[in-house]
Amino acid sequence: MYRLTAGFPKQETYGLTCQMQRASVAVAANIAEGFKRRGIADKARLLNIAQGSLEESRYYLILAEDLGYADTKEQMIVLEEVSRFLEAYVHRILAPLNSWNSSNSGRRCR
């Protein structure tokens, strides 16, 4: 993202450039932080934040293309790949919790 935004107009330095860089860094940072968390709830929360930042990055890429600042097709391909990996990771982390909930859904305490 930093290489892409280096060619943006100078008036975007504190606007779109900063927002795109911040959102893309937040994706990786939240994945890294979530990876080291021990609890499933903490992991899921941070990975969900990463997914939100990923969607924010997607919007900024569309906007940059629409404004004519850059050709973002290559970055969109990478973003789609990261999105699929992140979705699979979240699904895998939540799988034990989902299977436990489904196996105990009909039981009541007596």
Q: Print pLDDT tens along the chain (110 aa).
A: 999 999 999 999 999 999 999 999 999 999 999 999 888 889 999 999 999 999 999 999 999 999 999 999 999 999 999 999 999 999 998 887 666 566 556 555 55
> Given this model, what pLDDT does residue 18 score?
97
- Residue 5's nearest CA partner among 64, 63, 81 is 64
> What integer pLDDT is reported at residue 94 of this predicted model?
84
* Cα 54 from Cα 57, distance rounded (Å): 5
8-state DSSP, 12: G
d(CA 110, CA 104): 14
**All structural domains of the chain:** 2-102 (1.20.1440.60)
- Let me know how long the chain is: 110
- Hunting for tokens 């979530």 — which residue is that? 34
The residue among 68, 74, 59 whose CA lies nearest residue 3 is 74
